[in-house]
Amino acid sequence: MTALGIHCFVPPYLLAELARRGTLDAGYVDACLRVDTTFRERRGPGRDGGTPPRAGDARWTVHTSDGSERLPGEPVRREGEPATGDEAVDEAAAGITATLDLFRDDFARDSYDAAGAKLLLTVHYGRDYANAFWDGTHLVFGDGDGRVFRRFTRAIDVLAHEFTHAVTEHTAGLVYRGQSGALNESVSDVFAICLKQRVLGQDSSSGSWLIGEEIFVPGVEARGLRDMERPGTAYDDPRLGKDPQPAHLDDYVETSDDNGGVHLNSGIPNRAFVLAARAIGGDTATGAGRVWYDALTSGDLTPTSDFAAFAAVTVAVAGDHADAVTAAWEGVGVTPGRSSTTPSPGEAPRPVAGPVVVRRSGGIVGQVVEGAIDPSADDDVAREVRTLVDRVDLTAAAAAYGNQADRYTYRVRVGDGDGAQEVDVPEGALTDDLRRLVTLVLGGR
């Protein structure tokens, strides 16, 4: 059995690489991925019929899980209250205040739903949890493992990135898969960098384009988690591997991992945004950021819009900057309006006997973990796996696929050859039996 995966702010491909290289213990990585899988697929408020929290006057409340996986945890600081001295709590408070102010001041948007929804933030989530995510209700941040990652509240752009997933959920609703999923990730990076430059007093000509610059421990050869200007160059370290993001459509990565490579291929629209911001000039948020925001909220996008469709809408709303925006997209190989269909999950074939393989991907890190078990073996684990395979309904679980930004996805395959059943199951769609099955196949972690 081999261990490889994850899904949240840190992409699953990176977590998988850390486990493969032995940088992080496979059991630890698996635990991080399991956490992400449990919550990523949980559908959020607003578009899915729920009601965003609105109690009280404070725009936000920070909670602590104190190392547990309880959400939201205990409330420790509300807007208007003084600093607590807990670095994670106070960083989260400063970050969400700055993020809400950015969207209010530059885009006239009141919270993620444009109707004043109150924000629930949780810090100290899990035991050394190396990720951050939005689960449809909570913004959640781990403290990192201490060997590769530091606490995720250190980077204000991480917080803005996760908040923007909520904005996208309540506007274009970009499906978290394939090109639309890569756009979902890219849009979060776009407004994360707008906030970072605003806080640092930078503009499009001199500003940083690094996402997650502060989340790595000293000594790791990483300038950040992603480089929007030069995708594929953010890190190159024996413990991490080399940043695999493409910068041009010619290098688009076709993969079944990480919801179709959403954290990988987001490098392409990320670079298009940088080229547009540089061409438009001035303040990034009110320049190219305004164009991207108007496109996101235009009503002209569909949940499965691909790069070309999104590009066409940005050109349409760019006004005097239409030529600059067109050139930016063409600079990464995307012709605005020349669309292709974003793939969607297919129907699963009938289950058959054979090996059971589980591959977990996703998360902000993008790491992958994989395991396999022969259910015909004569041992307790194989016997339990046989029982679980007979009980679980993979087709029904796969049908629950939804917009699950920065969460884990489990690819479960039973059997070999043309008769195998293979489905993608979102983290939040795991039943008790299915969660037990994937845990066993991934090594009992």
Tokens matching residue 87: 């670095």
pLDDT for 379-412, tens place per residue? 878 878 887 887 787 777 766 555 556 777 888 8
Residue 351 has pLDDT above 60, yes or no: no
Q: In angstroms, what CA-CA distances link 258 with 20, 177, 308, 425?
A: 16, 8, 21, 12
pTM of the model: 0.74
Contact (CB, 8 A) for 312 and 352: no
For position 401, what pLDDT does the model report? 53
As a whole number of angstroms, the distance between CA 211 and CA 189 comes to 7
Residue 163 reports pLDDT greater than 50: yes
Report the pLDDT averaged over residues 338-345: 46
The share of the chain scoring above pLDDT 90, in percent, equals: 60
Bigger pLDDT: 43 vs 164: 164
CA distance 314 to 332: 15
**Residue 198, SS3 per DSSP:** helix
Residue 28, pLDDT > 80, answer no
Give the pLDDT score at 97. 98
Cβ atoms of 181 and 262 closer than 8 Å: yes
Once rounded to an integer, what is the mean pLDDT over residues 199-212?
96
- 56 torsion bin: left (phi>0), alpha (psi -120 to 50), beta (else): left
Catalytically annotated residues: 162, 263
Distance in angstroms (rounded) separating the CA atoms of residues 143 and 30: 16
- CATH code of the domain made up of 10-330: 1.10.390.10
Tens digits of residue pLDDT in 5-26: 223 577 767 777 777 777 777 7
Question: pLDDT of 404-435, one tens digit each?
Answer: 567 778 888 888 776 678 888 877 778 878 88
Rounded mean pLDDT, 193-198: 98
For range 50-61, the mean pLDDT: 68
The token pair at 283 is 């303040």
Reported in sequence order, the residue ranges of 111-168 that DSSP labels E, i.e. its strands, are 119-123, 132-134, 138-141
238 or 10: which leads in pLDDT: 238
Residue 35 scores a pLDDT above 60? no
The answer to whether 421 touches 356, Cβ cutoff 8 Å, is no
CB-facing half-sphere around the CA of 108: CA atoms within 13 A: 3
Per-residue model confidence (pLDDT) at position 354: 76
pLDDT at 349: 33
pLDDT, tens digit, for every residue of 266-289?
Answer: 999 999 999 999 999 999 999 999
Q: Determine the average pLDDT of the residues in 104-112.
A: 98
Q: Does a cis peptide bond (omega within 30 degrees of 0) precede residue 82?
A: no
pLDDT value at position 399?
A: 63
The pLDDT-based confidence of 345 (bands split at 50, 70, 90) is very low
State how far the alpha carbon of 167 is from the alpha carbons of 110, 115, 300, 302, 380, in Å: 10, 11, 16, 15, 47
Q: What is the pLDDT of residue 77?
A: 98
The pLDDT assigned to 106 comes to: 98
H or E stretch including 184? helix 178-200
Question: What is the rounded distance in angstroms from the CA atom of residue 247 to the CA atom of residue 229?
Answer: 9
d(CA 327, CA 311): 10
Radius of gyration from C-alpha coordinates of the chain: 21
Question: CB–CB of 307/330 below 8 Å?
Answer: no
